[in-house]
């Protein structure tokens, strides 16, 4: 399959009309800000900011630019466009890059990703295995289970999705960082995960994504068999277009400045103190850490939104489940409190963006 994908990719890139792009000065020499801008722009379908960010990221770290785009493809596009995911993953190979040129290849793939229909459900399934309130029990159960038992857990749709996703992740070999070191929870048993794919009737392309994404996609590849089953069992499948307001700061999406960037964290801290209604919320709930809570909430309000995505039965339930679990992980266990803070932040987004501009030092 690699050869067929490679030929298709080379032909498409060769025919691509490439126009050189110049990086935005705000992104200069800032690897993590460029990576964040690339991903947020792709999610929103913003081709120009995405290309600008990709060029700067490649200038800073060529290898990382292709690796990061591979994770973005699995994380934000997934089964909405599996052929494109396969192309992005294969594009990191030196032979293809030498044949068509890094900049042209990267620009083609970034534009394709930005214009593609998208889906983040595989990422949400993975996050359920991380943020589920019973994660310690899940990990213990996976640690003591045999590969056959893990495969059975993955296939049993009477189990909660957090259980099934944990089982799939452990079949691929799972380690987590704890107490200053990586702890191996399970050894790789990919043949069993591929057996799960076969049992669920997963297509050859998706099987390729599961296998080829091993150790390259932060375990997102292991969620694809479950997602395939969920989508296949849905009585309806549609594409939803979203008219998302996307304010720009310095020419890049405001959502770029998230909890993973220095500017984002500083702006949230300033906003939590300068915006009176938000400050009063945290004063009433002193155990909640403002930046952690705002960072997680903003991911759901703005950071993870897609301009065009597939919709199927059960998608909304998964979204609600993961949002509740993730907000609980930052200390907000009450759904009413989550709703209250969400409304406060939504109402005061202009103040948050003003804080971002202040920290960044730009007028608009």
Average per-residue pLDDT for the chain: 94
Straight-line distance from the first to the last Cα atom of the chain, in angstroms, rounded to the nearest whole number: 48
Per-residue pLDDT averaged across 204-215, rounded? 94
Which two structure tokens, joined as six digits, stand for 335? 């759904």
Burial of 182 (0-12, 13-18, 19+ CB in 10 A): exposed
- CA 239 – CA 295 distance, rounded (Å): 28
- CA 112 – CA 49 distance, rounded (Å): 14
Question: What pLDDT is attached to residue 57?
Answer: 97
Which two structure tokens, joined as six digits, stand for 35? 């990576």
> Residue 302: is its pLDDT beyond 90?
yes
Question: What pLDDT is attached to residue 224?
Answer: 97
Q: Using a pLDDT cut of 70, give the percent of the chain over it.
A: 99
Per-residue pLDDT averaged across 246-254, rounded? 94
pLDDT tens-digit readout, 24-61: 999 999 999 999 999 999 999 999 999 999 999 999 99
pLDDT tens-digit readout, 116-125: 999 999 999 9
pLDDT tens-digit readout, 161-204: 999 999 999 999 877 776 777 777 778 899 999 999 999 999 99
What b/e string do you get for 44-71 counting C-beta neighbours within 10 Å, with b at 16 or more?
Answer: bbbbebbbbbbbbbbbbeeeebbebbbb
- CA 162 – CA 114 distance, rounded (Å): 30
- CA 213 – CA 163 distance, rounded (Å): 21
Q: Please give the model's pTM, rounded to 2 decimal places.
A: 0.94
Which two structure tokens, joined as six digits, stand for 305? 């939104």
- Rounded-to-10 torsion of CA 282, 286, 290, 293: -100
DSSP assigned state of 145: S
Max CA-CA distance within the chain? 60
Least confident of 3-12, 167-176, 279-288: 167-176
- CA 161 – CA 174 distance, rounded (Å): 17
DSSP 216-255: TSTTGGGGHHHHHHHHHH-S-EEEEE------EETTEEGG
């Amino acid at each position: 399959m690699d050869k067929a994908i490679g030929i298709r990719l080379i032909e498409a890139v060769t025919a691509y009309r490439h126009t050189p792009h110049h990086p935005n000065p705000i992104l200069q020499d800032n690897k993590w800000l460029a990576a964040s801008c690339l991903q947020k722009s792709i999610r929103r379908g913003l081709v120009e900011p995405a290309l600008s960010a990709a060029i700067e990221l490649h200038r800073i770290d060529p290898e990382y630019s292709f690796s990061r785009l591979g994770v973005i493809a699995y994380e934000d596009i997934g089964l909405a466009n599996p052929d494109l995911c396969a192309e992005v993953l294969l594009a990191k190979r030196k032979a293809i890059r030498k044949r068509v040129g890094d900049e042209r290849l990267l620009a083609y793939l970034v534009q394709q990703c930005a214009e593609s229909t998208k889906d983040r459900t595989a990422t949400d399934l993975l996050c359920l295995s991380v943020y589920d309130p019973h994660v310690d029990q899940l990990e213990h159960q996976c640690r003591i289970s045999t590969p056959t038992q893990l495969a059975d857990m993955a296939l049993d749709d009477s189990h909660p999705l957090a259980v099934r996703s944990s089982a799939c992740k452990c079949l691929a070999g799972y380690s987590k960082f704890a107490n200053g070191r990586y702890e191996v929870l399970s050894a790789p048993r990919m043949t069993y995960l591929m057996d799960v794919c076969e049992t669920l009737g997963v297509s050859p392309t998706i099987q390729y994504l599961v296998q080829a994404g091993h150790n390259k996609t932060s375990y997102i590849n292991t969620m694809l068999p479950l997602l395939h089953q969920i989508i296949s069992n849905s009585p309806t499948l549609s594409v939803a277009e979203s008219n998302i307001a996307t304010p720009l700061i310095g020419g890049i999406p405001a959502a770029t400045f998230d909890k993973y960037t220095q500017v984002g964290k500083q702006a949230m801290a300033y906003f939590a103190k300068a915006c009176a209604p938000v400050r009063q919320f945290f004063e009433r709930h002193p155990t909640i850490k403002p930046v952690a809570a705002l960072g997680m909430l903003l991911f759901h309000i703005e950071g993870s939104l897609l301009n065009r995505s597939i919709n199927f039965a059960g998608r909304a339930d998964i979204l609600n489940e993961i949002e509740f679990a993730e907000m609980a992980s930052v200390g907000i266990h009450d759904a009413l409190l989550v709703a209250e803070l969400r409304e406060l932040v939504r109402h005061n987004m202009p103040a948050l963006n003003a804080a971002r501009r202040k920290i960044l030092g730009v007028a608009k």
